[in-house]
Amino acid sequence: MQIFNTVVKPCVTALLAAVILGGTACQSPLFDKKEPVKTAMRDMPAVRLNYRYEADVPAPTLEPSQSTEERNAAVQADFDSNRLTELLDKTIVSPDKKRIVAVYHRISDLSSEYRLDMYTADGKLLKKMTADSMAVHFPDTIVWSPDSTLVAFVAMIRVADPMAGLMLPTPSVTPLVSDANTAIDANTDPAAAPVTAPTVAPPTGILTFRTEQIYLCGADGGGVKPITQNDGLIYFYYTWSPDSSMLVAMAATAREWRYIEVLADQKGEMMVPQGRLRVIEKNGRERRLDDNLTAVRPVWSPDSAKIAAAFETQVRIYDAVGTNPTQAAIPLRNQLLISSQAYDRNQQRASHAGNIDANAPASTPEPNEPVSTLPDEKLLVSYNPIVEIAWTADELLYLQTAYLRRMKTETDSVRSFSRWHRLALTGQAATPVKP
């Protein structure tokens, strides 16, 4: 017992001293207060985004669309001189101004079917892009990638034209005379005179489908290939991500397209297609983002990491990258109702008082109005669905509400109560992991 006491007591005393000194000299990591980990917006999953709704803000400053001319002068001159049986419809210049896509049709082509050729910046034909068996549709949606390396367009198999055999023959191209001793008689037939323009044959062997599919073509006019191969689906809108890595597209089945078309005809309205959103990579890999139809064109975030779309009074954000992409829905019906009520009241007061500042934003309810009661949407003239969205900065997503009615007779079309709103996005701070 005596040996145990003399050995154990000093050990216990030393241990207690170590604990006391350790507690006073430093804090244990278990009790350290961790600061929230900040994550870049690009790496923030869509499901972890916060938002703040701001009503009736000034319209955003949008970047101009790609250079589209009705007819480039140099390209038009080539058509006038060497392509007498073909009509130039429009030209689309690449962002770096080095290439021009010519959109044209032959005299015998159907009115909704077009062809594409690639031209140099000085108006010289570089290469024919589309095969004779292909018909390009929706020419207004043809778009260059931001890095000017690829151009995307929609095409399908060309409908056989019974008048094709009656079209005027294309003048044959003869090589430039190289013999300096050979004289050219100016009084001879002009068709027999040598032509300096080279003969460019259209490509062959390009896969075509019965419905509109998305194709890519290189800046040299070659390498045309379909990146969608879903026969029965109609792809009618598509836009490049800012980093030129992929496309977001809208697609609908042929039956859905026809149904919407019939309803519009019955009302005398222009057909506004509705589709489902899809992300399409350049290698053809495709991922559907949503099962619901929308007519509002989706937009990319400036960092190319997310996509936003609108469905009536709801905004949805999707992750475009990552191994486990997420999506988030932002319902805005209540906010739009309250801000529309305030907007209508402000308009009424300004109308009665003759206030020139009739469009001043007023997004808060009346002081004596119970905030728990939502206004009746049938009584609000400025309450309308979202018709356009714009993502101008990583943290700022704009949305426009308006009353739209597109009629076949342009003078009967109506657009009123166009109002811009804004969502200020922030990411949720990541919870620190305890060691």
pLDDT tens digits for 258-274?
999 999 999 999 999 99
Count Cβ atoms within 10 A of the Cβ of residue 52 and give its class: 0-12 exposed, 13-18 middle, 19 or more buried: exposed
Whether 109 and 130 share a structural domain: yes
Conformational region of residue 228, where left means phi above 0, alpha means psi within -120 to 50, and beta covers everything else: beta
Q: Phi and psi of 385, rounded to 5°?
A: -75, 170
- Is 384 within 8 Å of 312 (Cβ atoms)? no
* pTM of the full structure: 0.79
* Residue 250 · residue 275 · CB < 8 Å: yes
pLDDT at 431 over 80: no
The highest-confidence range among 1-5, 40-44, 380-384, by mean pLDDT, is 380-384
Do 410 and 342 lie in a common domain? yes
Residue 95 has pLDDT above 90, yes or no: yes
Q: Is 156 helix (H, G, I), strand (E, B) or coil?
A: strand
Distance separating alpha carbons of residues 88 and 164, to the nearest angstrom: 18
**344 within domain boundaries:** yes
Of residues 77 and 5, more confidently modeled: 77
225 closest CA partner among 130, 296, 333, 303: 130
Model pLDDT, residue 173: 41
Same domain, 102 and 81: yes
Neighbours of 73 (CB within 10 A): 9
pLDDT band at 385 (very low <50, low <70, confident <90, very high): very high
Least confident of 39-48, 212-221, 296-305: 39-48
> What integer pLDDT is reported at residue 430 of this predicted model?
67
Q: What pLDDT shows up at residue 7?
A: 46
Mean pLDDT, residues 291-306 taken together: 97
Q: Are residues 56 and 96 in the same domain?
A: no
Token code pair at residue 48: 């972890």
Report if residue 273 sits inside a domain.
no
How would you classify residue 312: left for phi > 0, otherwise alpha for psi between -120 and 50, otherwise beta? left
Q: In the chain, pLDDT over 90 holds for what percent of residues? A: 66
Under 8 Å between Cβ of 308 and 315 = yes
Give domain status of residue 251, yes or no.
Answer: no
- Looking at every residue in the chain, the average pLDDT score rounds to 83
Q: Using alpha carbons, list the distances in angstroms from residue 327 to 47, 94, 146.
A: 6, 33, 26
Answer yes or no: is 169 within a domain: no
Q: Is the pLDDT of residue 21 over 50?
A: no
Tell whether 78 and 95 lie within a shared domain: yes
Assess whether 128 and 82 both reside in one domain: yes
421 and 389 both lie in a single domain = yes
The string of pLDDT tens digits covering residues 42-59 is: 889 999 999 999 999 999
Euclidean distance between CA atoms 104 and 114, whole angstroms: 6
Mean pLDDT of 111-133: 96
Rounded (10°) CA dihedral 121, 127, 131, 137 = -10
Band the pLDDT of 35: cuts 50, 70, 90: low
Whether residues 78 and 118 fall in one domain? yes
Is residue 158 situated within a structural domain?
Answer: no
| Pairing label, strands 314-319, 306-311 | antiparallel
Mean pLDDT of all residues in 243-261: 97
HSE, side-chain direction, 13 A CA sphere, residue 321:
14
Q: Is the pLDDT of residue 433 over 60?
A: no
* Spatial separation of the C-alpha atoms in residues 164 and 145, rounded to whole Å: 34
Q: Is the pLDDT of residue 110 over 80?
A: yes
For residue 377, being part of any structural domain is answered with yes
- Give the pair of three-digit tokens for residue 427: 């990411």
Digit-coded pLDDT (tens) for 156-215: 999 875 454 444 444 444 343 344 444 444 444 544 444 445 567 889 989 999 999 999
pLDDT at position 40 is 80
Q: Which domain holds residue 50?
A: 41-61+332-427
Mean pLDDT across the stretch 365-375?
A: 63
Spatial distance between the Cα atoms of 129 and 222, rounded to a whole number of angstroms: 6
Which value, to the nearest 10 degrees, does the dihedral of the CA atoms of residues 245, 124, 116, 194 take? -150
Pick the last residue of a domain from 183, 203, 223: 203
Residue 313 falls inside a structural domain: no
- Does residue 93 sit in the same domain as residue 50? no
Shared-domain flag, residues 127 and 199: yes
* Number of domains into which the chain is organized: 2
Q: List the structure tokens of 73.
A: 């002068």
| Whole-number percent of the chain with pLDDT over 70 | 75
Which of 203, 224, 239 is at the close of a domain?
Answer: 203
pLDDT digits (tens, 9 = 90+) for 332-366: 999 999 999 999 999 999 888 765 554 555 545 55
Predicted pLDDT of residue 201 = 87
Give pLDDT, residue 107: 93
Across 117-126, 150-159, 182-191, 372-381, least confident range: 182-191
Q: Do the beta carbons of residue 100 and residue 121 sit within 8 Å?
A: yes
In a domain, 384, yes or no: yes
Does the pLDDT value for residue 114 go beyond 90? yes
Write out the two tokens for 140: 């207004």
- Least confident range from 135-139, 196-200, 225-229: namely 196-200
Q: What is the pLDDT of residue 122?
A: 94
With tokens 């007498």, the residue in question is 84
Query: What distance separates the 2 farthest-apart alpha carbons in the chain?
Result: 137
For 260-291, letters b (16+ CB in 10 Å) and e give beeebeeeebeeebbbbbbbbebeeebeebbe
Has residue 382 got a pLDDT over 70?
yes
348 and 421 within one domain: yes
Contact 130, 136 (CB under 8 A): yes
Same domain, 102 and 71: yes
